[in-house]
Chain A
């Protein structure tokens, strides 16, 4: 598993496939991510409303599964929905999950 996903995770994807952070329907924050590492960095910086908006719509898991092709991480993020986290607690959880996953992939 580690060998299969790692190259895609490290790779920077084209602009049109990047993740664009919105705070609600049609309201783009100006922040985007073109790799998992960049995505993790944005999680720490972006308006927390954007994290709530995308998590509960299933946008994060969809992008990670379909664009980064990392089903394992997508599933971990999907599971986070059932805890109904909001605000900085959600931000910390998301960041920790992705950081741990990146460490696992690159170790």
Chain B
């Protein structure tokens, strides 16, 4: 772990610690140390340093929405936008509680890709029709409802 131009350069040990945390962020420093063959104090120091440099942004919980019964539809929305308005559309989407993730992508046209959750198809449609389609700069929207999730990890 070295600082280059104020950016933390990670070595193999750091990457292995991150990998271990991504699998289970609640495991102890000792457990990670044992697994990697290093002292728990080394694990502690490196994690603290990665937290300080915001390489580790936060520890969060991945909720299995299907089992909560509250929000059981996930959809991927592709929004084609006027390039002049795309930032504003993305910012508005970020403020909506139904929207979990927002990305922009440039292929032939500028697109915003957003992951959305809703209680059912009707509430998904209401949200898109009443809160997304009317946003200035939205040209058209394609939505795919997720039928099965095979993998979900965050880097």
Contacts and interface: CB of A to CB of B under 8 A. Distances in A.
Interface stretch (B7-15, B56-64, B85-93, B121-129): B121-129
Contact of B125 (A22, A30, A32): A22
Main DSSP-derived SS at the A contact region: strand
Q: For this complex, into which size category does the number of interface residues on chain B fall?
A: 20 to 34
B138 interface: yes
A16 B141 contact: no
Interface in B41-80: 75, 77, 80
B125 A26 contact: yes
Given A15-B134, A25-B124, A25-B125, A30 B140 contact: yes
B80 to A, nearest CB: 8
A95 interface: no
B141 A26 contact: yes
Interface residues of A, number: 12
A15 B130 CA distance: 10
Given A25-B143, A26-B141, A27-B142, A32 B121 contact: no
Nearest first, the 10 A-B pairs at minimum CB distance are A26-B143, A30-B140, A28-B141, A20-B133, A28-B133, A16-B134, A25-B125, A26-B128, A25-B121, A30-B139
Interface of A: 15-16, 18, 20, 22, 25-30, 32
